[in-house]
Structure 1
């Protein structure tokens, strides 16, 4: 049975029983190669698929899922059974397919055209580049992979949309020689093979490890710092994304509640949610509820402009969904910090004396997006007179995230695209508390 035949049968059953119905079909393909210490450790070439059904009546939903198009009646009956046992006062709804959907190219198919031999060559090249550096004693893990996702959503109210996207990623970890081994890690993502530079990824992982050789702590105090782009991306994912969820605000779990149109950050800081960004693997024309995605300012010149909504949270405030439903939560499609004009080297000169934070540890235990407070182990690089002079370790950075946003002094143009759909440049923070043991 085809998807369309299965869908039509489900919708017919729903109408006969007085229900609205929504079906989501997701099909995925994943290919990956992994080396462990230079030897083949994993080969994955796998397809996956899932079909989920929701039935809706009087604001209440019942759900069921399967992996094959063989018995629509059974799936429908399971959803009805689950509907009958649900006890909830929350009002649910479906989107009717209205609105303007962005036409975007997110599927290229170029990774799938590569032979296994060509992919192996790229994997081995990455390992070879990292291994040949005399300071590197081990390359524990090397990975080259790509994936394709197809999604179709339809319901009895008129929604009927499809989406297909693909892209690849590569990463490796290395260990450099020192009194105690120094690790380095780097990754890259790209929609096209030619934009996934495995040599560059290998060299950056090596650079990360070598920069830690001879690293020392610093005296406790207040420092000007650079949050490097990849680190600032991690901090925003952990702290800001939960804060801008309308659901969290409605549950009094966001410090941004009642702060709409207030200054919460530096005037040079603008953060958007964008449905499409070239190079991102998170692009999407609609969210997990089928609502069209749109570009919107979240923070504009330091001023907080909007929470992100799904259908349910929007209904509670008589608003429209912002197209940010993400499974069981709310999330931006691509969280973009608008870049500035300075390169990373120019930021170094502007920093003059301070520390570049190159990694944060314990983000899920030491950072609290409800209060905004964080205290995190960190590593970095010491900067004097605009030049890097050595590694920094055994330090803790702490503060309040919203206060940090107000202390953004410069925004670079060295954009980093992360796995977590954050697209971020490096920033200079005028002051932050650092605890060391020197």
Structure 2
């Protein structure tokens, strides 16, 4: 049974029983190769499908799901049964498909054109490159993968939209010899193979480990720091994304609830949510409710401008959805921190004396987006007179995330694209608390 045949039957049955209905389809193809200590230990080549049917009446919904286009009668029956047992006073909505949807290319198909041998050759080359330096004693893991996804959403109010996207990623982890082993890790993502340099990833992973050789802790105190772009995107994703969710604000779970229009960051903090960013694998013309995605300013010169809404949270405040539904939650499409003009080396020179944070540990346990407080294990690099002089380990950075935003002095132009819908450069923070044991 095709999607359209399944959809038409399900919609007809739901309407006959007095319900509006909506179907969401997510079809995914995944390919991956993984090496363990230079030997192939994982091969994946698989398709998966997810089909979700939601029925709606009087603001209440019921949902059921399946993996195959078969027996729409059963799916409608399950959704209605779930509708009947759900006890909720919240009003749910469907979107009617109106409005202007952004247009861009997100599917290229270039990874799928590579033969398995070509993919494997690239992976072996990455692993070999990662282990070339005599100080590297092990390459415990190297992986190359790509994925294609197709999204379709349709409902009885007239919505029917679809898009297809693809992209690949690779990573390598290495171990360098020292008094205690030093690990290094690096990864990259890209929509096309020519943008994913596996050898460069392997080389960078080795450099990360080698830079840690001889690392020591530092004295506790307040330090001027650079949070490197790869770690700054992680911090933003962990702390800011939950804070700007309208749902969390409505539940009194965001420190930004009463701060619309207030200055919460320094003048150079400009953050947007954008539907498309070249190189991102998260680009999308509509959200999981079928609402068009749109560019919106979250912070402008440090001033907080808007929360992100789905249909339900927007309805509560008499507003329109911002196109940020993600399943049952709310999230940006591409949260984009506006870059500065200096490259990373120039930022290090500007830092003068301080520490570069290159690794944050315990983000999910040591960071609280409800209060903004964080206390995180970290590793990094010590900088003196604008030059990196040694590795730093066994330190903890702590503070309040909103305070960190207010102390951002400068942003670089070394944009990092993460898996977590976040794109950001390295930033200089004027002061942060660091606990060490030196």
TM-score by length of 1: 0.99
Q: How far does residue 56 in structure 1 lie from its aligned partner after superposition?
A: 0.2
Rounded to whole Å, the distance in 1 between the matches of 2:357 and 2:431 is 13
* 1:227 and 2:227 matched: yes
Q: Show the counterpart of 1:304.
A: 304
> How far apart in 2 are the matches of 1:303 and 1:292?
25
In the other structure, the counterpart of 1:313 is 313
The answer for the alignment partner of 2:160 in structure 1 is 160
1:150, CA displacement in angstroms?
0.3
Q: Distance in 2 between matches of 1:422 and 1:308?
A: 15
**2:58 & 2:421 partners in 1: Cα distance?**
35
- CA drift of 1:13 comes to 1.1
2:422 corresponds in structure 1 to: 422
Deviation digits for residues 24-70 of structure 1 (CA, Å, limit 9, x no counterpart): 11110000000001111000000001111000000010111111112
> How many Å apart are 1:296 and its aligned residue?
0.5
CA distance in 2, matches of 1:244, 1:86: 28
Name 2:103's counterpart in structure 1.
Answer: 103
- Quote the Cα distance in structure 1 between the aligned partners of 2:353 and 2:308: 38
User: Cα distance, 1:99 vs. partner?
Assistant: 1.1
Q: How does 1:24-423 map to 2 (within 5 A)?
A: 24-423=24-423
Unaligned runs of at least 5 residues, structure 2: none
Number of aligned positions between the proteins: 438
Superposed CA offset, 1:172-214 (max 9, x none) = 1000000000000000000000000001101110011001000
Q: Secondary structure at the match of 2:347?
A: helix
Aligned counterparts of 2:406 and 2:131: Cα–Cα separation in 1: 43
Structure 1 runs, 4 residues or longer, greater than 2 Å off = none
Q: Distance in 2 between matches of 1:345 and 1:339?
A: 15
Gap runs ≥5 in structure 1: none
**Partners in 2 of 1:210 and 1:421 — Cα distance?**
30
Distance 2:263 2:437 in 1: 36
Q: Distance in 2 between matches of 1:367 and 1:66?
A: 36
User: What SS class does the counterpart of residue 265 from structure 1 fall into?
Assistant: coil
Q: Distance in 1 between matches of 2:37 and 2:256?
A: 46
Q: What do residues 55-86 of structure 1 show as CA deviations (whole Å, max 9, x unaligned)?
A: 00000101111111121111111111111111
How far did residue 133 of structure 1 move?
Answer: 1.0
Indicate the SS of the match to 1:262: coil
Which whole-Å deviations, capped at 9, do the CAs of 1:236-295 have from their partners, x for residues lacking one?
011000000000000000000110010000001101101100000000000011100000
Q: Distance in 2 between matches of 1:285 and 1:383?
A: 43
Per-residue CA deviations over 1:222-245 (Å, capped at 9, x if unaligned) read 110000000100100110000000
Q: Distance in 2 between matches of 1:146 and 1:404?
A: 35
Other structure's SS at 2:41 match? strand
Quote the RMSD (CA, aligned, Å): 0.6
Q: Return the offset for 1:132.
A: 1.4
CA drift of 1:104 comes to 1.1
Q: CA deviation at 1:421?
A: 1.3
Q: Distance in 2 between matches of 1:382 and 1:230?
A: 18
Q: CA deviation at 1:11?
A: 1.2
- The aligned counterpart of 2:12 is 12
Q: How many angstroms apart in 2 are the aligned matches of 1:54 and 1:394?
A: 50
Q: CA deviation at 1:14?
A: 1.6
CA distance in 1, matches of 2:376, 2:78: 46
SS of the equivalent of 2:189 reads strand
Displacement of 1:15 in angstroms is 1.6
Q: Distance in 2 between matches of 1:220 and 1:328?
A: 42
